[in-house]
Amino acid sequence: MRHESLQADAESRINWRIISHLIPYLRESRNRVLLAMLCLLLAKGAILLIPFLLKYLVDSLEGQNLQPLAPAVLFGLVVAYGAARFSNVFFGELRDTIFGRVSERAMRRIGLQVFRHVHALDLDFHLNRRTGGLARDIERGVTGISFLMRFFVFNIIPTLFEIAMVVCILLFNYGASFAVITLVSVFAYGLFSLRATQWRTRFVREMNEADSASNTRAMDSLLNYETVKYFTNEEFEAQRYDTELEKWEKARRKNRLSLFGLNGGQALIIALSQTSMIGLAAWQVSDGQISLGDFILINQFMIQLFMPLGFLGFVFREIKASLASIEKIFELLALKPAVVDAAHAPSLQMQHGGIVFNKVCFGYRPERNILREVDFTIEAGQKVAVVGVSGSGKSTLVKLLFRFYDPDSGSISVDGQDISQVSQASLRRAIGIVPQDTVLFNDSIFENVRYGSPRATDQEVEEAIRLAHLDEFIAALPEGSATMVGERGLKLSGGEKQRVSIARTILKRPPIMVFDEATSSLDSKSERAILSSLAEISRDHTSLVIAHRLSTIVDADRIVVLHHGEIVEQGTHQQLLQHAGHYAELWRAQLKQRDIEPD
């Protein structure tokens, strides 16, 4: 029980240090902030003036004892009252307008920072992330930043200032009784709101987590729409989604009931405070100690004080909720990628494109090694293929070359430069890849091809489309290359998506090319045509080919055979067949399956 209590206390606490992360964004727009603060002071000055104007109006009218100049005085007071009311609203709106740009700029900057940071995180994070939940966490956090910056600066601090001014006015003009009631009321209200809101924070977190989980479930199901249909699991998916929605509903219910308790307690404190103040003021008016105008002034001050104080309760609750949401963003920003550039890492200096894997050992987990002492060289301009049964570590070599992971031991170098000592961006710019599983953006075919080189001209994109043998397919489409491919490219077949991927790489024209089962989704005729194009564009390039269809790599300068993460054979196609080892077994097995034709 004590452990559960401590856990609940930990969940209810808020990391107020998060606010310190927002200070730089206020500092860089200090002129706008200062101008907005000036507008705030003018608005508060106007609202503090209103009760005094009402007092003088009431006292002037009381008993109809007007002096000869009273109509002019009365008119001036009425005009001043109207001007004060207008000034309060006008300067408040002007303040929000001026400060709006500060909060919007901060939202943009932090949103961009998070976006870049997520892209900088390592592959393991992205393999384990919940896309839907992550998107909702970022959305709530960025929205919470705007709320926090605006209301913390312009509601909490100004309300505390207004409370101090009202207490001073009541103390010096009407004695300690009114000031004490005001202070006690504010203290009770603040203490109750603080304790109750801290208690409620865990319900807000539960609601956010349930919301993220349900959104993740929905997005995951919709992204895998075809799989759901293949297995007629629509009802199963609906039930899983409803299970998450049920958790969200319960979390919302807890949040709503706790909010009812908080609002009810705050309303009781306000009612008792106002009743006490009005009762004391009424008694002093009847006793002749203060005038009717003073009664109106005190009543007006209490209304003006408890209106923002009541709103302050809402603001405080929302700030706590915003901090809980923002906390997720800064937890995300606190994550450190496993693969980082060395300090002052230079750019990769490409010369010829030679690659050396030097006794590389690697495992995704310490207890399971994938690669063991992998040692081979790809000379500049060579085409080297890596083959082996599934799970032998072929695709892991590609991930290491792109530096999605660092080897546990050994090294990989390009043109004599250890890739761990150069910038990741320059390394990846030098390598183009045609992956086995091509995922496209929900854009046109043309723009998906242009993604290989965003600054490429239309003519260059069209040439890449032609070399990838996409032109005939595109010509048959009603909208041509402007055809939208759908989310993740679902409107295209596997072969069509792979051709788009090949066109991207052709457009990029990098010095090093990697083909990871690049023609696995193509028919024999298309495969022969594209292999011819790939041979043409990679003629003067260094090529690493991860192959399943051995027919695609018979012309390789060297073939590396991996088995259980170790190199067991190396040589040309003919040399390995003559050796009658692992490669020869794979070749014979594929002949039997008629995946390739005999020589």
CB-based contact 561:570 (threshold 8 Å): yes
Q: What's phi and psi for 293, nearest 5 deg? A: -65, -40
Residue 225 has pLDDT above 50, yes or no: yes
Which pLDDT score, from 0 to 100, does residue 484 have? Answer: 85
Residue 311 has pLDDT above 70, yes or no: no
Which pLDDT score, from 0 to 100, does residue 519 have? Answer: 66
Same fold, 17-334 and 353-430+543-593: no
Range with the largest mean pLDDT of 410-419, 520-529, 532-541: 410-419
Least confident of 403-407, 511-515, 565-569, 589-593: 589-593
Q: What is the spatial distance between Cα 302 and Cα 188, in angstroms, rounded to a whole number? A: 15
Which pLDDT score, from 0 to 100, does residue 417 have? Answer: 93
The CATH architecture that domain 17-334 belongs to is Up-down Bundle (1.20)
Q: How many CA atoms lie within 13 A of 573 on its CB side?
A: 15
Which DSSP category does 404 fall into?
A: S
Confidence band, pLDDT 50/70/90 cuts, at residue 312:
low
Q: What's phi and psi for 561, nearest 5 deg? A: -105, 120
CB-based contact 427:348 (threshold 8 Å): yes
Confidence band, pLDDT 50/70/90 cuts, at residue 3:
very low
Which pLDDT score, from 0 to 100, does residue 599 have? Answer: 42
Which pLDDT score, from 0 to 100, does residue 64 have? Answer: 42
Confidence band, pLDDT 50/70/90 cuts, at residue 554:
confident
pLDDT in tens, 272-295: 888 888 888 888 888 878 888 888
Share of the chain above pLDDT 90, in %: 12
Count, residues in the chain: 599
CB-based contact 497:489 (threshold 8 Å): yes
pLDDT in tens, 96-108: 888 888 888 888 8
Which DSSP category does 346 fall into?
A: P
Which DSSP category does 438 fall into?
A: -
Confidence band, pLDDT 50/70/90 cuts, at residue 130:
low
Please return the burial class of 419, using the count of CB atoms within 10 Å of its CB with bins 0-12, 13-18 and 19+: buried
The CATH architecture that domain 353-430+543-593 belongs to is 3-Layer(aba) Sandwich (3.40)
- Domain borders along the chain are 17-334, 353-430+543-593
Q: What is the spatial distance between Cα 183 and Cα 179, in angstroms, rounded to a whole number? A: 6
Q: What is the spatial distance between Cα 280 and Cα 182, in angstroms, rounded to a whole number? A: 12
Residue of 556, 189, 515, 196 whose CA lies nearest to 381: 556
Residue 153 has pLDDT above 80, yes or no: no
Which pLDDT score, from 0 to 100, does residue 260 have? Answer: 85
Interstrand relation of 542-546 and 512-516 (parallel, antiparallel or unpaired)? parallel
Q: What is the spatial distance between Cα 335 and Cα 337, in angstroms, rounded to a whole number? A: 7
Per-residue pLDDT averaged across 58-86, rounded?
70
Please return the burial class of 416, using the count of CB atoms within 10 Å of its CB with bins 0-12, 13-18 and 19+: exposed
Residue 12 has pLDDT above 50, yes or no: no
Confidence band, pLDDT 50/70/90 cuts, at residue 296:
confident
pLDDT in tens, 20-63: 777 777 777 788 888 888 888 888 888 888 888 888 777 776 65
CB-based contact 415:353 (threshold 8 Å): yes
